[in-house]
Each structure stands twice: as C-alpha cells, then as structure tokens.
Amino acid sequence: MPISRRPLLALPWLLGLWCLPTHAAVAGNTLQVGPTRTIKTIAAAARLAGADTTIEVDAGDYVGDVAVWTQPNLNLRAVGGRVRLRANGMAAEDKGIWVVRSPKLTVEGFDFEGAQVPGRNGAGIRFESGWLVVRNCSFTHNEMGLLTSNDNTAVLEVENSEFAYNMRPDGHNHNLYIGQIARATVTGSYLHHARTGHLLKSRAAISHILYNRLTDDGGSASYELEFPNGGVAVVVGNIIQQGPLTENPVLIAFGAEGYTWPFNQLSLAYNTLVDDLPSGGSWLKVKPGADAVLAVNNLLVGTAPLQAIPSGDFRNNFNTDRSSLAPGGSYRLRAGSPLLGKAIALDPNLQAQREYSHTAKSIALNIAPHNPGAMQRPLAR
C-alpha cells in the first residue's frame, strides 16, 4: 500500500493526548535522606512519603536500596552531587531498582546501575503507569536501561539523560524501551553503546525525539531508533550514527512489527544521520501502510539515498562524507562547507528550536536554523 502525501495534520485524538492535565504544585512535606539523616535509605523514604512530597537525597552511593513509588506528585532530587543507585543483586518486585506507578513523579540527578533479575529485563526504572519525568539521570550496565509498560494512558518525559552499556548475556536488550504508552518525549539525551538491542525503541502513540545524540560509538546496536508500531513520531535535531559493528544495516525503522495506532506518521527534520558501516547501510525502513512520511533538511553522512520507500515527502536532504565535518567529533559542518545555509524554512512544529550539546543536554538556538542536519551554531573560533 503506497504512502499517502496528504498534509501532516494533528488529529483531535492526538491533541487530546497532548492536553493531559497537569498536577498543580501543592505544598507538602520534604523528606531528607542520607547516611547522616534520620531517614537513611531511599526505600524507607518510599514507605514514608505521602502525596505532594519532595525527597532530597544526599549525594553518594546507595547499594541495594530499591523502591516502589505509587504516591502522587513526588519530586526526588539529588543534593550536593550525584546519587548513585547500585542494584548489587537487589530488585524491587523482581523488576528493577525502582518501580514507578505514581500519577506524577519527577526524578533528577540519579544514576541507576547494575539491575539484573531472573526474567532478564532488570531495569534501572520500570515505569508501569502514571507520568514520569526523568531529568539529568543516567542508566548504565543494567539489563534494560529504562523500560515502560504498555499502559496507553502513561506519559514519559526524559531530559538531558544518558543511557549506555545496558545489556544482558543473550542480547535483545535496549538502552531505552518505551512500550505502548500515550506519549513519550526524549530531549537532549545521549544514548550509546547498546549491544544487539536498540539505542531507543518506542511503541508510543506519540513520540517526540528531539535534539539527542544516538550513536553506536563502538557499540553493536541493532536499529539506532525504532518505532515498531508506528504512531506519530517527530524526530528533529538528532545526531544518529550507525557504527561498523552494528547488527542491522538500518538506522531508523518505522512500523516493522505492524501498525497498531489509528494514525501513523513519521517526520524527520534537521537530523544528522551517519553511516559508518563499511559495506553501507540504509537510513530508513518504513513498512507499507504508513499514512505519511516527511523527511526534510537532513544531512546524510554516507552515500545511500534517503528514499528507501516507494513514496513520501522527501525534500532538501543532502549526502556528504566525513571529510565535510569539522574535526573534534561535534558533527558540525566545516567552515566554508557549500552545505552551510542550505536548509529551507519549515512548519514551526518541525523547525529546529534547540541543538544537542555534548554531553547529554541541549541548548536554545539564538539564530534561525539554516543548515541541513542537527548542528546550527557556527564553529567556535
């Protein structure tokens, strides 16, 4: 079935998902956790916390300190430095370091390491329901980095976080695995060094993947980015690199396991896609049946054409090679490159507003986007 070229529209049911109610801030208790505090462990704080609680955790290592979170409006933040959660063989509900079923939980400044469970899906966080916001966290050396359920009302937001070296002996692990939830937004994050599994896999109805770096960097990921059940996927301003050890020649896949959402639309804009597979790979694989595919202002560091599907709206995408990139690994175009300034104006919903900044953050642009690819600011002098 060919892909239609009808205009990209926001359907009413999709707008409804974007307008999920927020939780008003309510003054509540603050709990302090740390070796010198009355509350020594995060697990104890999880038992004591009520609704609308802020939990401040002193920097340091917390070993085998696993927890389940169900209370609404929780804010957990590291104080005085990073909080390192080392599983050390422990897992909440045999699922991961944390299990989250909170109507709204925000976590900032935590490092989740070493989750392993008998089912081989041990996650730094197992997110099962509600609304989870993850800021400035890392997920490393778990069987799964962050793993969600298939609750179609759940919302996940990930900002300025890192996912790496999450693996299990039999492979098929993923750094970030998002199930069939309502909405997922991943911004300013660094995903790298997966083995066999994907850097990022999302089955969400709406996926916004914005201003991230998804690069093998010596790992052996399968897809770098996959939307196996379609949905509405907006991919803007990302650096996506396929390394020479990849186990799958495709960088981005859409609908590979069949479309399950009412509307299936993929938009790719201002991305830098890099193919380092010696034999050459494919940028994009879209299963027939998608409602719309748009790809514009992308920079392709490799020789293959972007149009690997029969139809779609493909405009202003440029092939180049690594010699056109500036040294230093920033993925910026060299000064004087003939591709500088070649981007065309887009709908505001797809126009780049920010730029990835290494490591694991994004910064607002103070100029209009004008280059194909993810990097818009001029080289530092």
Q: What is the pLDDT of residues 173-217, one digit of tens each?
A: 799 999 999 999 999 999 999 988 899 999 999 999 999 999 999
167 pLDDT tier (thresholds 50, 70, 90): confident
Q: Is the peptide bond before 359 cis (omega within 30 degrees of 0)?
A: yes
Q: Kindly report, residue by residue over 333-359, the tens digit of the pLDDT.
A: 999 999 999 999 999 999 999 999 999
CB 234 within 8 A of CB 208: yes
Going from the N-terminus, what domains does the chain have, and what CATH number goes with each?
Answer: 32-325+338-364 (2.160.20.10)
Q: What value does the mean pLDDT of the chain take? A: 91
For residue 264, is pLDDT > 70? yes
What is the DSSP secondary-structure string of 113-124? E----TTS--EE
Of 10-24, 117-131, 326-340, the poorest mean pLDDT is in 10-24
Q: Kindly report, residue by residue over 73-123, the tens digit of the pLDDT.
A: 999 999 999 999 999 999 999 999 999 999 999 999 999 999 999 999 999
**SS3 of residue 252 by DSSP:** strand
Q: What's the pTM value of the predicted model, to 2 decimals?
A: 0.92
Give the pair of three-digit tokens for residue 141: 């050396």
| Beta-strand relationship, 176-178 and 144-148 | parallel
